[in-house]
Amino acid sequence: MSIKKSISAMFAVVMLMSAAVPAFPANALEENSYESASADERVNKKLLNVSNIMQYPELPTGCESVALTILLNHLGYKADKLTIARNYLPKLDFYWYNGVLYGADFRTTFAGNPESEYAYGCYAQCITTTANNYLNDNGFGGKAYNITGSDFDSLLYDYIDKDIPVLIWITSSNLHETMLTSVWTTPDGERVQWKAYEHCVVLTGYDLDNQLIYVSDPLVGNTSYDYGRIKQRYIDMGQQAVYIQAERSADVYIYGDIDNDGKITSADSLLILRQSVNLENFDDIHKELADVDGDGVITSADALEVLRYSVGLPSGGNIGVVFE
- Per residue in 276-320, pLDDT (tens digit) is 999 999 999 899 999 999 999 999 999 999 998 887 777 778 887
pTM above 0.85, yes or no: no
Kind and range of the H or E element at 174?
Answer: helix 172-175
* Lowest mean pLDDT segment, chosen from 190-194, 264-268, 296-300: 264-268
Q: Residue 59 has what pLDDT?
A: 98
Residue 171 has pLDDT above 50, yes or no: yes
Same domain membership, residue 162 and residue 54: yes
Instruction: Specify the pLDDT at position 188.
Output: 97
Residue 38 included in any domain: no
Domain range for 23 is 3-31+260-323
| Nearest in space to 63 (alpha carbons), one of 144, 122, 11, 106 | 122
Are 205 and 266 part of one and the same domain?
Answer: no
Of the candidates 197, 217, 245, which is a domain's last residue?
245
Q: Which of 52-56, 116-120, 244-248, 299-303 shows the lowest per-residue confidence on average (mean pLDDT)?
A: 244-248
- Are 76 and 203 part of one and the same domain? yes
CA 183 to chain centroid, in Å, comes to 32
Whether pLDDT at 40 is above 80: no
Same domain for 186 and 92: yes
Do 125 and 178 have their domain in common? yes
Q: Are residues 221 and 272 in the same domain?
A: no
Predicted local confidence at residue 318, as pLDDT: 86
Chain center to CA of 314: 17
Residues 294 and 203 placed together within one structural domain of the fold:
no
In whole angstroms, give the CA distance from residue 318 to residue 221. 18
Q: How confident is the model at residue 37 (pLDDT cuts 50, 70, 90)?
A: low
Asked if residue 176 and residue 74 are part of one domain, the reply reads yes
Across the chain, what does the average pLDDT equal?
Answer: 87
